[in-house]
Structure 1
Amino acid sequence: MSSNRRSFGIAALQLKLDEADNLELLLQKIQRTKLRYPWVRMIVLSELALRGVGAQHARELPSAEEEAFCRSARELGVWLVPGSMYEKCGSAVFNTTPVINPAGEVIARYRKLYPFLPYEKGVTAGDQFVVFDVPEVGRFAVSICYDMWFPETTRAMAWLGAEVIIHPTKTDTIDRLDELSIVRASASMNQCYVVDVNSAGQQGVGRSIIVGPEGETIHEASVEEEIIAFEIDVERVARVRTRGMKGLGQTLKSFRDSRVRYPQYEPGAVSPALEALGELKVPE
């Protein structure tokens, strides 16, 4: 497979969004992005772009809004990861990201593994990883915002073969700089692309970041609205993982070959140190 066939255009939309119904605005921005950058084959939005925070916004999926995203993907012929939305499933509410292919089909729905507790109230944790293949390009995975603070999640996606991690985020707090460090470290440790798209305006502080498989920053956004169109070379992921990052550490091979047993993953494992931290609750 030639490297040209594994190059792939992505647009990450860092939009100024209100805590409101943003569907028509999002559809308009998606369409304009494809018109301006016809070479883009995937469009990615930020976490909870559709309506913002609030489990009361939950809808059963498929919903009318999800179907509108599907029509847009089909009409434009693009892969679409429309951020995330609250999904009602029985008595549970999940923070869910659909993955829509260019035929307008939802091929997967990823439920956020680590809701931002104790603040993301009323949201249930998912328990399944989502990886999917873009034919003749590579294997992609989805992660949402707070998930990346748990490095096990990113390592699991790499273990499942992910070469590109799509990471919708909604951060409106002062820890954004720390998140940028985590994104760079995650890409470096797992030799993969990470597409971390945050919102701007009322919903977030912007500063989306795109990082490559050797930890290089492809683009770091401002705090304003930006349409970040870029091209990735997925063949590079295989080269870096095989030869070593910057020709040095072959991390994933060492992880594969190691026989280390991690105490935190032993059956019935309990950490007295972590137990002593007490209840997960809002600080007073």
Structure 2
Amino acid sequence: MITPYFLENFWGDKNNGFDVLYHNMKHGQISSKELSDFIRERATIEEAYSRSMTKLAKTASNCSQLGTFAPVWDVFKQSTEKLAACHMELVRKLQELIKEVQKYVEEQAKNHKKTKEEVASTLEAVQNIQSVSQALQKSKENYVNKTLEQERMRKEGATQRDLDKAGLKVKKATETYKSYVEKYANAKTEFEQRMTETAQKFQGIEEEHVLRMQEIIHSYCQSVEETHIQIGEVQEEFVKNMENTSVESLIQKLAESKGTGKERPGPIEFEECNVSIATEGANPEKGKPLPYQADGEIKTQIP
């Protein structure tokens, strides 16, 4: 345990330290719930962002697949889908963390209920010393007033009978005052003992609470950091793919995917008319293929 700050700083004239420490413990449960709500809101935002990125990826896939620029949309689509997956993975981690926080909140409620029962005697001691302190103050004021009244009467020459009556009142006030001084001493001893134990208990509870909250926040930070690393990797991959998508590569892909063939038209040379062949061709047989020349060879044309 660290320095006993609670033990040293929650006393005071009105003895309100117990009330402050008790409500501080209850505020710890409120803080846990608020942290759970914060993480849940972050998860909601991340999920909405992931869905938006998925929608954006579909937009990229619906872009024109024609033209030289078409392959670039595939790079955008893949990168955007990966970013959406990164954020959705963070959502999953945050949802698991929320379950952990909720479990802690339930444990807190049980522990606080148990603690309330354990410190009930301290609350009684606090209420007792506060009550005795008020009664002691009133008895002291009454004692002082009765003593001053008796002295005033003596100076003013009051009768012996009146002085005797005043003396009885002083005696009674003195006895009451002394009894409350004694009661206060007993109440003080009981209060200090109970308060010492309770202050240490409350500090122990608070130390454990803050430590647990720090562990939760560490898990939260770690999840977010891991996501940022993944996003950075996706971005690096995107940049690399874009760098590899050079002008030459885009032109090459279009040529390979949309090309119509590498064979160029063959040359056609002048052919001198062969009279004998031409004569025969004057009355060609019906359906007889006509000759033609290609690549330096005589071929037959199918009608």
Query: Do they fold alike, i.e. is TM over 0.5?
Result: no
* Structure (1 or 2) with the greater strand fraction: 1
* TM-score bracket for the superposition, by shorter chain length: under 0.3
* TM value normalised by structure 2: 0.17
Q: Which has the larger radius of gyration?
A: 2
